[in-house]
A and B are shown apart, each in its own frame.
Chain A
């Protein structure tokens, strides 16, 4: 009797697990982490993606790096001191984007892949700034060139400048938190000129990077004579924004400036529409960036002006490599996957592989110091615009892709098109007021 009951229990539990497994199979195809395999006989140049692979940014960064490696391998690989060698992409999930995962765990993952797989270069590094800053004490021990595409703190540049011996292996291709504030400032200037808007309400995610951007934008607004109707910071996980929207409504804010990357910020946009707040939404809303966002939100995002961290995976004609990259990505991973692609870090990861390959060829060896010196001399056209580094090892961001890397903003327009609107060098349309504001 007992054995029968035990068997029945086991069967029931297996059923639950089987059901969950089927549920997963029916869902997305995410989770694959295959490496780009070397094609030739020569020993491969090993490039590592060491970031939060459970995040959209991390997953797509890995895919972008694999795509670049395959393209280079198809051309015969990298010439290292006269020998053609293929690229091998390896990866490890640091899980640093998950709440509660300590910096030490992410560092342990980094050290594990370094000691076990001995990569020559890390082409996509830390997701969180704390992890990046801590890595800057660890990496010099192993002497590995390290490219950052996602972590945004400007303390990185400070550390590179103050501790050049440690900082010499590090280069950031992705934008930092100050760049976003600069692009938003220019964008608001355009909005002021076009519509005469002069009052704004800031609503910010209560995290370090968003607060940094928010405070910088607030300063810009005050400096340029705007009225700041309000400034609210919401903790991660907040799911009701009615208080802010009521105050924005009462204060007659003409522009609402959100700065968020948490998924719940989608509620803010939907709630603003349902509360009929007659304000233009202009800001950083990560879930609204992918192409598929129009369908996900059933067109309720029409008129929202979305800040872009880096063009690249959001293609613009003014940066032809971004268009080619998205086409190649779509061809390799399918349209459904490409429509989910986020902006931050993805184009930069693709560029990083090309940039490192070029630096190794210039250095003529895999010696980390020689490769780092060659990286500092980078001057190439990438998906994110022209790539050059300042003395602080941060890629130079500009308003024109011919002068530097670029971020900016696009506006969602019917029937689900992302129209680049800022900066003017990449704009493919004008900002239009959504129907509820006309």
Chain B
């Protein structure tokens, strides 16, 4: 039982990490709270399904195309919707949430409500770890989640483009003074966020079904993890994912499975009371103000 909780707690943590990565990264790199993140996630899922089942394209091609399309959607979202209102936080929040609602309701309107939308796993079969059976898809979740986290950390801390993006998020005027173009960096970060949402979708959805309401569910998870970890910290995000992932599995195993989803709400309330900037958040102003 303990072994199972340990292994599936890790898997659950990486599921949560993948779910929130795109949202957190966009906020960390461009300061945009992209509430349309869940919408991009379901676009990726349905698009992959359409390419795979309706156009009979191979799985790999479908996945790559879906990632590219959703990354482009992310960039276009910035250019078409967010850029004209950039800087007015409430407008950004309302607009991106509006886009999320449009995407979710669009799919509902078009009849994507049946139980047929499922993606195949990357690999069938599984292995045993510490006497606990684990399928390859969940193993892929762990590996992809860990690799993405590492790659993004290196990108945002050691590459010129990543540093430029972070500089823009930290102080736009100073970044401008050293020649960093704000619209371009925001477009790149939104594209990157879209791509991450798509990678999460194609990795996680083979474990279940694609449904329209996932658009909202994903956003709640992303918000909870990002608030807990600190909205602009990748390491904080990883810590928060581990904390929430294990907390959920332990609560489910030893307390009661019906308390599982409450873990997210408790985390949000707890962090807002005790450390509003999140575990590793750096928004000191907010903390001081509170």
Residues on A lying within 8 angstroms of B by beta carbon are 8-10, 12-13, 15-16, 19-20, 23-31, 54-56, 59, 98-99, 203, 206, 232-235, 237-240, 242-244, 246-247, 250, 263-264, 266-267, 270-271, 274-276, 286-288, 290, 292-293, 296-298, 340, 342
Known: A24-B109, A56-B114, A243-B253. 16 other contacts (CB 8 A): A15-B80, A23-B50, A30-B112, A98-B213, A234-B257, A234-B260, A242-B8, A242-B11, A246-B4, A247-B253, A270-B135, A274-B126, A274-B134, A288-B115, A296-B118, A297-B118
Question: What residues of B have a CB within 8 angstroms of the CB of A26 in the complex?
Answer: 50, 54-55
> Could you tell me the distance between the alpha carbons of A239 and B205 in the complex, rounded to whole angstroms?
10
Are B47 and A266 in contact (CB-based, < 8 A)? Answer: no
Are B115 and A59 in contact (CB-based, < 8 A)? Answer: no
B158 within 8 A of A: no
Count of interface residues, chain B, beta-carbon cutoff 8 Å: 61
Are A244 and B257 in contact (CB-based, < 8 A)? Answer: yes
Question: What residues of A have a CB within 8 angstroms of the CB of B262 in the complex?
Answer: 235
From the candidates A12, A31, A340, name the one contacting B76 in the complex (CB within 8 A): A12
Q: Chain B: interface secondary structure?
A: helix
Question: What residues of A have a CB within 8 angstroms of the CB of B33 in the complex?
Answer: none
Task: Give the distance to chain A from B13, nearest Cβ to Cβ, in Å.
Answer: 11
Are B4 and A340 in contact (CB-based, < 8 A)? Answer: no
B170 within 8 A of A: no
Residue of B nearest to A205 (CB): B258
Question: What residues of B have a CB within 8 angstroms of the CB of A240 in the complex?
Answer: 8, 11-12, 15, 248-249, 252, 260
Task: Give the distance to chain A from B58, nearest Cβ to Cβ, in Å.
Answer: 16
From the candidates B77, B110, B257, name the one contacting A243 in the complex (CB within 8 A): B257
Are A12 and B80 in contact (CB-based, < 8 A)? Answer: yes
Task: List 6 A-B residue pairs with CB atoms under 8 Å apart, sorted by A's residue number.
Answer: A27-B112, A250-B1, A276-B133, A287-B209, A296-B118, A297-B118
Are A30 and B111 in contact (CB-based, < 8 A)? Answer: yes
Q: Which 4 A-B pairs have the closest CB atoms?
A: A30-B111, A274-B135, A24-B110, A242-B8
Residue of B nearest to A250 (CB): B1
Are B115 and A239 in contact (CB-based, < 8 A)? Answer: no
Number of A-B contacts (CB under 8 A): 172
Are B118 and A16 in contact (CB-based, < 8 A)? Answer: no
B211 within 8 A of A: yes
From the candidates A9, A243, A244, A271, name the one contacting B79 in the complex (CB within 8 A): A9
Are B208 and A270 in contact (CB-based, < 8 A)? Answer: yes
Task: Give the distance to chain B from A354, nearest Cβ to Cβ, in Å.
Answer: 26
> Could you tell me the distance between the alpha carbons of A403 and B217 in the complex, rounded to whole angstroms?
45
Residue of B nearest to A246 (CB): B4
Task: Give the distance to chain A from B83, nearest Cβ to Cβ, in Å.
Answer: 7
Are B110 and A28 in contact (CB-based, < 8 A)? Answer: yes
Interface string of B75-105 (1 = CB under 8 A from A): 0110111011000000000000000000100
Are A243 and B249 in contact (CB-based, < 8 A)? Answer: yes
> Could you tell me the distance between the alpha carbons of A414 and B81 in the complex, rounded to whole angstroms?
50
Are A264 and B80 in contact (CB-based, < 8 A)? Answer: no
Are B110 and A246 in contact (CB-based, < 8 A)? Answer: no
Are A266 and B126 in contact (CB-based, < 8 A)? Answer: no
Known: A263-B208, A263-B211. A274 touches B138 (CB 8 A): yes
Known: A16-B76, A290-B115. A238 touches B260 (CB 8 A): yes
From the candidates A235, A246, A274, name the one contacting B1 in the complex (CB within 8 A): A246
> Could you tell me the distance between the alpha carbons of A235 and B258 in the complex, rounded to whole angstroms?
5
Task: Give the distance to chain B from A228, nearest Cβ to Cβ, in Å.
Answer: 15
Are B209 and A27 in contact (CB-based, < 8 A)? Answer: no
Question: What residues of A have a CB within 8 angstroms of the CB of B207 in the complex?
Answer: 239, 267, 270-271
Are B257 and A13 in contact (CB-based, < 8 A)? Answer: no
Question: What residues of A have a CB within 8 angstroms of the CB of B47 in the complex?
Answer: 23
> Could you tell me the distance between the alpha carbons of A180 and B50 in the complex, rounded to whole angstroms?
35
From the candidates A29, A56, A59, A233, name the one contacting B258 in the complex (CB within 8 A): A233
B288 within 8 A of A: no
Are B118 and A266 in contact (CB-based, < 8 A)? Answer: yes
B157 within 8 A of A: no
Residue of A nearest to B207 (CB): A267
Are A99 and B213 in contact (CB-based, < 8 A)? Answer: yes
Task: Give the distance to chain A from B201, nearest Cβ to Cβ, in Å.
Answer: 13
From the candidates A9, A10, A296, name the one contacting B116 in the complex (CB within 8 A): A296
Residue of A nearest to B54 (CB): A26
From the candidates B4, B11, B55, B209, name the one contacting A266 in the complex (CB within 8 A): B209
Are B111 and A12 in contact (CB-based, < 8 A)? Answer: no
